[in-house]
A and B are shown apart, each in its own frame.
Chain A
Amino acid sequence: MRIAIAIIVVFCARFLMAALSFPSHDGDIAWQQWLGTYVLHQHVLPKQLGPETFTSSGAPWIPQEWAFSVAVAWFIAHGRFWMLAALSVAAIALCLLLVAYRAHRRGASTFGIAVAVVFSGFALLPSFGVRAQVFGWLFLSIVLLLLDLENDWLLLGLLAIALWANVHASALIAPVVIGAWAVGTWIEDRAWTVRVERNFVFAAGSAVAVCMTPLLWHLPLYALHLETSTIRSAIAEWQPPDLFFSGMGYGLLPLLAICCYFGIAAPRERWRDGMLFAVAAIIGGLAVRHIPLAALILAPMAAQRLSSAVPVHARVNTVLQEHFSEMLIYACSAAVCGVIILTLSRSPQTAGITLPKTAIVSLADVPGTHNLYCEDFAWCSLALEEPNVRTFIDGRCDPFPPRVWSDYLAVERVSPAWNRVLKRWDVDSVLVNENDSLAQALALRRDWHLFYHDRRYEVFLRQDVRTAER
């Protein structure tokens, strides 16, 4: 376990640097702050989009990340965003610690635990941020631990699932995971035993627990809808994984390979693991955002099998447990942490600001109310706090109707109808990446002119702009 902790510390250094620079690189924090502020002031969840968007005002909205948004707004309002960043890092550190602990409980060797932690860390890395889903990973880890423990504390997991559902809709995976586990125990016991009954009660309870939010049954319906929604094609986290995606190549794939090589379920004593593997193997191939979930499920199994397959005399544990080796690993861990912090604090990717904040502020300074189209919808989240800028689609993305998404994509992909779409929606300003296709197309049009540009972004305004009312 101590070696695993040294590895987790290294990952935490990397996660911390990513978390601290997160608001400069991800537009989601902006709309979450806006939503959290709304909830804190109005003491009610918004049920529909408001006049901050000119395309979908009045569209029904399920603000599934409301609890996290409240936290974002509170921490930012008190000038303590760093605390939220630190909490996110603590959550992910706890996830990895729980992976190590679950592997340890299953009798994994020091080396097996270390391998599981390393691959889990890599699987979590690309999706990490100050995001609600990071806390969802922690709740999943807690549920998996309770399943492993198989004692009367199990039903406490319902509380964790209810909290999880209030933080992020990924809680909907809990009934699937617990149901698969319950079926596994049923097959193992070949009878309706006490533990089988307890697991099925837990599975049924988890299906109820996901409805214990202010959104009630609307949350599961929303999550199911999202799994088949057409908007997924426009969201990076919903893209299918690939071998070259780092979370897959360096994280989930090695865990899958270890499980496939050693075998985890046969003949009958570990059908629970087999059922969970099936769930992980299927969801892991559906979307990039499911890779961390799959890795957290598989890592302890991989560690256990890796350890049990290597004879005790052939293990490297004895070397790792020597005082000198331990000290060496701790020293290396500290040195790597230092290098990570030093390197990333100077790197433009983390130290710089990559969001078009200045561009949007410049547009807001132009008198009148503007209908803004952002080439990347997440940028428009920054405009939510500007009273005279209304968005086409912003980072809240899910509640915008399919018709609006279709028009958004028609412009984003510069389809032949792009200018007609902008005209139809009365868009008067467009924020684009410099030299992208849309920027090229706008530059060729006489009815648009370049209003703002910096090293990364350009804002085009329609000629003879007549501004709308917000």
Chain B
Amino acid sequence: MTRYFAPIVAFAVATAFAAHARLIPEYLVQAADPNLLGGAVFHAALTTFGYAFVLALCAVLAGAAVLLCAWRTRLRGAPDLYAALAALLAALCLTGQFGVSLAPIGWVCAALFALLLERSGRVSVVLALVVVFAWSLLQGGATLAAILALSALAGSWLDARKIDDDVREKALIASGSIVLGLLQLHALPWHAYGAHALYLDALLAGAQRDRLWTGGITVNALAFAAVLIMAAWYGVRRKDRAADAIAFFVLMLLAMLDARNLPYFGLLAAPVIADAAASYYVGARTMPSGSFFGYSAAFAACAFAFIATIISTEPKVPMWPQTASEPAKLFVSLAADHHAHRVLCEKPRWCDGVAAIFHGVQPLLDDRAGIANAGARRTQDDAVATQGKWRSELARERIDAVIAKSDTNIVALLTQTGWRLRASDGTRVLLTPEAAQ
């Protein structure tokens, strides 16, 4: 009976994902990135099969990531009940990030890569490198793969205190992951792109960061606290595997740096914690019986049924940023005059994908703010804080439209000096210079 618990959690994740049918604007930036094959694949799927297919695919990927997390717990010898516990913890950490983007590809790759890292043998090494290659190509996650592989390498060496076969295998995977990460043909410097893949660039002034704690009881804060409490209860070192502890703390820091890393923390830390819990209460370790291909076939059948159901019930066309959190109405108003505009959004991610939808509108910064040029970031930072020579910086960057919350200082100061309110969506306003009206 307990063997069905983890699949039930995974199914619940997929269903909740599909029910939360929104397109994360970040996806439009990823889709336009020539370095990410995932964007092109999703775009092709979107135009060929429709939005519902892409939505269902993302939901299936999220469910698969949760199942892999449970499977990894099982492969460590923990019983099914603890595999379900791992799935539950991982699901909690994913909940805040539901939405169509390339992130689910990263989640499933990370869960699979972590599983393969714990296996030994040449087949696992090759498969791990194949996963990194696909991950790197589709979503650009080689940076995280390299971090996980280096953690595993350090952990293996610390455990063995000598260079044995396991250390050699981990070294091979780590070096392979680093090389694959470097080999990506990015137009940007590799280190900047690597930082962006882990959202570390969100720390730069002018960029936008998702904080883990926002002052209230949020899903993200609760999920993080749940993982932390379980970890403290049973101890990450319980199984005496240094790699577990290193990966746990590295990902914990990444999650605290930007909440968008929380799913990775949940997916990779949950099996470690669930296994530690199992080691207290269960004497005999049992490995799962049954063939991997049998399980895969069952999963594929479920996935197809799920996708078919979603396709028949969900909308067929993508609905670009329609949530209240996105200023779509203001962009429509701005683009209505069919002139070229350069727009500054108070929160850079409000501008995500605007260039893809309205060809005449160019944002100063969007989700890729961290890898934008320093001058643009400084302008953003100064203008939003109305500090320094922010007016001349706006002029230098040829900004002729500003979208900001209606009660912010930049709105008051611009309207005092010749800018006029052009449109409002209730909480935000679009300002343009008087001459441009």
Contact = CB atoms under 8 A, between A and B. Distances in A.
Q: Do A and B come from one complex?
A: yes
A281 B229 contact: yes
Given A260-B248, A441-B413, A444-B417, A274 B233 contact: yes
B116 to A, nearest CB: 25
Interface in B212-228: 212-217, 221, 224-225, 228
Contacts, number: 124
B67 interface: no
Interface in B1-50: none
- Taking chain B's interface residues, is the majority helix, strand, or loop, or is none over half, making it mixed? helix
Contact of A260 (B214, B221, B236, B407): B236
Contacts of B437: none
A277 B413 contact: no
Contact of B213 (A285, A309, A410): A285
A261 interface: yes
A266 interface: yes
Contact of A286 (B213, B238, B253): B213
Nearest to B279: A266
A445 B386 CA distance: 17
Nearest to A415: B407
Nearest to B407: A415
A420 to B, nearest CB: 11
Contacts of A263: 231-238, 276
A256 B232 contact: yes
A442 to B, nearest CB: 11
Contacts of A285: 212-213, 221, 224-225
A238 interface: yes
B213 A415 contact: no
Given A240-B214, A261-B237, A286-B215, A267 B280 contact: yes
A417 B280 CA distance: 61
Interface in A286-336: 286-287, 309
Contacts of B385: 437
Contact of B235 (A238, A262, A287): A262
B237 A257 contact: no
Contacts of A282: 225
A238 B408 CA distance: 21
B292 interface: no
B245 interface: yes
Interface residues of B, number: 44
A414 B409 contact: yes
Contact of A232 (B215, B235, B280): B215
A349 interface: no
Contacts of A287: 215
B204 to A, nearest CB: 13
A264 interface: yes
Contact of B406 (A232, A415, A445): A415
Interface string A382-417: 000000000000000000000000000110011111
Interface in B280-338: 280-281
A143 B428 CA distance: 49
Contacts of A409: 407
A188 to B, nearest CB: 13
Contact of B232 (A238, A243, A259): A259
Nearest to B213: A240
Contacts of A437: 385-387, 409, 412-413
Which of A243, A260, A309 has the most chain B CB within a 10 Å cutoff?
Answer: A260
14 contacts: A259-B232, A260-B248, A260-B249, A261-B237, A262-B235, A264-B233, A281-B232, A285-B224, A286-B217, A414-B408, A416-B406, A440-B386, A444-B413, A444-B416
Interface of A: 232-233, 238-243, 253, 256-257, 259-267, 274, 277-278, 281-282, 285-287, 309, 409-410, 413-418, 435, 437-438, 440-441, 444-445
Given A241-B213, A256-B232, A437-B386, 18 more contacts: A239-B215, A240-B214, A242-B211, A260-B248, A261-B249, A263-B234, A265-B233, A266-B276, A274-B233, A282-B225, A285-B212, A285-B221, A286-B216, A415-B412, A416-B411, A438-B409, A441-B413, A444-B416
Top 9 A-B residue pairs of the complex, sorted by shortest distance between their CB atoms: A263-B235, A415-B407, A414-B409, A437-B409, A240-B213, A240-B215, A260-B231, A259-B232, A267-B280
